[in-house]
Every structure is written in C-alpha cells, then in structure tokens.
Amino acid sequence: MKAYIAAVSSYLPENTLTNEDLALEFPDWSVDKIFSKTGIHTRHICNENQTISDMAVAAAESLISENAIDKSSIDYVLLCTQSPDYFLPTTACLVQSELGLPTSCGALDFNLGCSGYVYGLSLAKGLIETGQASNILLITSEAYSKHIAAGDKSVRTLFGDAATATLIKGKESNHDLIGPFVFGTDGNGGDNLIVPDGGSKNPITDASSILTEDTSGNVRAPKNLYMNGAEILLFTMKTVPSSVNALLEKANLSKNDIDYVIFHQANKFMLDKLRSKTGFAEERFLTSYERYGNTVSSTIPLGIKEALNEQKFKSGDRILLVGFGVGYSWAATVVEW
C-alpha cells in the first residue's frame, strides 16, 4: 500500500483585510506600495471569537461533503497549528469530537509553521504504509492574526488566516505516490520569527502588553509576533534551492520531470527570487499569495486546491512541494497525482 492525496478542501474566514484597508490605517503606505512590496491584494482574517478548531472543523466538513466521505472511515486526524485553542487539551481531540468521528480514531497536534504541510504528508505516509491507519485527515489551521499587533505593518501586510483539510489514503502501487522527502532544521534562527511571550519560558506578565516602536515605525509588544524579514530572506535563499536539488537527486528526477511546483507562499518578492534561483518555468510555478497572503502551513494545500479547481492536474503529474520558514524549519517532497 502506498499513501496518496485523495482530496483537498479549504476554509477561509469571511472577514477580509485589503490593501485599501491597510492604506487607511498606515497613510505612509499607499495601496500600490503595499502591493509592490508583497504581491498580496487580500487576506482573510478570522473574527475575535473564531478558534483554530472552528476553522479546522469547517475545512474538514467541506472536504467530507464535497467528496461524500463516510466519517466512520476516518481513523486518524493530524492537525498542524501554532495557534491551538488551548495549551491542553489537544485541539485535534476537540476536532474529532466536533466532527463526530469514531472514538477509535487517533488524533494529534503538531506545532510547525510554514513547513508543516510537507511534514504532515510524511507523517501520514508513515502511518498508512506501516498499516497503522487507512484514511487520514490532515488539517492545517492557522490564525497568525491573533498574534499580530495592530500597529505592526511589517507583518499585518503579509499574513492571513485559513484552514485546509486533506484526505490521505492508501492504494496498491509499485512506486511511491508521496515522497521521497528532504527535511531541514536550524533552531539558531528561531528568534527571527517568534512570539516571545506566552509560553513557559516567558509567561505572560503586565510587561507582555507594553507596546514599543521599532526603527521602521512598527509597533508591537512582547506577546505579539516579531519577524526579522531580512534574516528570513537570507535563510530562504540559502536553504530552498539546495533542498530542491537534494530532493530531485534523491528521487532520481530532473527539473524537466516535474510538472508543477508549489512553494510556501511567503510573498511575491521572495517567490520571484526563488523561481529565478531554482530555474523552474513560470507556467509550472504555481502561486496563490495574491488572494490569501501568507497563511503559514495552509499555503501549499490552498495552492493545490486552486489548481484542482482550475483542473490543472492530470493523473500521473508530478508536483514538487517545498515548505520553509519559522523554526527555522524546511521540508520538500514530490507527490504524484
């Protein structure tokens, strides 16, 4: 039995944050300037009372209804998020209950960001191909907006909220349909994309909410998301092209054997540079950041869903997937459609 992607669905919050909205809040940044820096037009933002489990359940319900899936057949839930409902219990357990899945179903969270979807595929592959599960629900649900300070335009212009649900099943095949994989980790870069306060190392105190302004005019507190964009770009340019080459070598494939490429949708500037450095043709290099922004672990499956809606993929197509970012963490794989 070989694991394969059987279906993908998504959920986007109704609230949106457009460049026009941002330009009203930050008069020194025009609509054109925001777009030229990010390539993003619109971001979906969850409302104050909406939780990660709410979005996860909505994405999963869409997957189940769109593909006539019998809920009793799902025997494992993998949920990737960095904004769980609680420190405990596990959000995946809450999602199992809300969806009405069998109590014989396994369920776990894994805390990973922009590389999370590829890591999730590797976990699902391992579970299926060792006979531990047969029908896996891989969910990404992320709301960085809950960590972002209203006055920090450096990240408010980039990030959006979204959830996706992927059904991963097994079938007989004489070759892999997901994989091989290349992984990478460099925790030395952890401070360059971080929410400093709120965990066990730096618990929330009164000082956690004190706002300060940086030299670029961005206002945030220690409980908010901080990103060092210059360092993230350097890390990405160093690791992603070499990871692509390592994956192709491991898979015994050339770039011409790849039909489509979906990288983590960070922003236009970064993706344009990556496409140039990796040498993939523009028509094979799929992007979706304009409509959603950077939705962290949901960007790659959102790209897959868009391609499916546009009927781009045909049976046998090879799609190269690369996630990279917070951690630092990165991962790449090839899937056969």
| Length, in residues, of the chain | 337
C-alpha 174, offset from chain centre: 30
List CB contacts of 1: < 8 A, sequence separation 6 or more: 128, 129, 131, 170, 171, 172
Give the integer Cα–Cα distance in Å for 110 and 113.
9
Return the DSSP state at 290.
Answer: H
What's the longest Cα–Cα distance across the chain? Answer: 59
DSSP-derived pairing of the beta strands 76-80 and 135-142: parallel
Give the integer Cα–Cα distance in Å for 162 and 292.
8
Token digits of residue 75 = 């025997």
Question: Which residues form the catalytic set?
Answer: 114, 264, 294
Do the beta carbons of residue 187 and residue 328 sit within 8 Å?
Answer: yes
Q: In the β-sheet with 162-171, what is the strand arrangement from edge to edge?
A: 2-11, 162-171, 135-142, 76-80, 106-110
Return the DSSP state at 294.
Answer: B
Burial environment of residue 177 by CB neighbours within 10 A (0 to 12, 13 to 18, 19 or more): middle
SS (H, E, C) 241-261: HHHHHHHHHHHCCCHHHCCEE
